[in-house]
Chains A and B, each alone.
Chain A
Amino acid sequence: GQNIDQPTEMTATEGAIVQINCTYQTSGFNGLFWYQQHAGEAPTFLSYNVLDGLEEKGRFSSFLSRSKGYSYLLLKELQMKDSASYLCAVGDSNYQLIWGAGTKLIIKP
């Protein structure tokens, strides 16, 4: 079967760095996405990885290792507004996205 695993919840301190991991087992691989979802709102795009390595975009970076079925999202200089759920999604062999349940990130002052 197809499976995306992420931690359910993480807590971090304002100004710190946090790494949210995602492991996946899917039928085929056609890219990995990270989305941010604030409570009661729609998911919004953060990053896309299709090749191994690190993609950096401001305070957010995303890493992919296809051989390990592993990705992480790195958030630096955490701000209170970063409190949200972070969703990992993988494109499968049918070019449909398989979604993880999301990681709820709680930022404490």
Chain B
Amino acid sequence: IAGITQAPTSQILAAGRRMTLRCTQDMRHNAMYWYRQDLGLGLRLIHYSNTAGTTGKGEVPDGYSVSRANTDDFPLTLASAVPSQTSVYFCASSEGQGTHNEQFFGPGTRLTVL
């Protein structure tokens, strides 16, 4: 693994189903982030984690949950998917918290909720 990986690459999901998007980084970065990107809008922060064992809510956390059991993994779970959660989801990481740290992005997951 080099950098950040995300799985799956894309997914079509029925409304009401539970879904976990996976994110793994091998850079030993402390901070990790989940964003969604929708056409015409900037990236919006869903949840973040400044270090293993801690998480925080971003701008649009409703309907999503995260966990950070270790440094490398930061899964995002949709408990009961709704069509408004159709989006491209990016996981990112940075050396530490604080906006002076460059964020590195995974390749994204394209999720469609029908």
Interface residues of A (CB under 8 A from B): 4, 30-31, 33, 41-45, 48, 50, 87, 89, 91-92, 95-102
Contacts and interface: CB of A to CB of B under 8 A. Distances in A.
A43 B45 contact: no
A79 B50 CA distance: 38
A101 B40 contact: yes
Given A43-B90, A87-B42, A87-B43, A97 B100 contact: no
A48 B40 CA distance: 23
Main secondary structure of the interface of B (DSSP, over half): loop
Given A87-B43, A98-B42, A41 B98 contact: no
Interface in B13-59: 35, 40-45, 48, 58-59
A92 to B, nearest CB: 8
Given A41-B107, A42-B108, A97 B102 contact: no
Given A30-B99, A33-B99, A97-B43, 6 more contacts: A30-B98, A50-B100, A89-B42, A95-B98, A96-B48, A100-B42
Nearest to B90: A42
A98 B108 CA distance: 19
Given A42-B105, A42-B106, A42-B107, A96 B43 contact: no
Given A30-B98, A30-B100, A48-B102, A4 B45 contact: no
Contacts of B40: 101
B79 to A, nearest CB: 24
Given A4-B42, A101-B41, A96 B105 contact: no
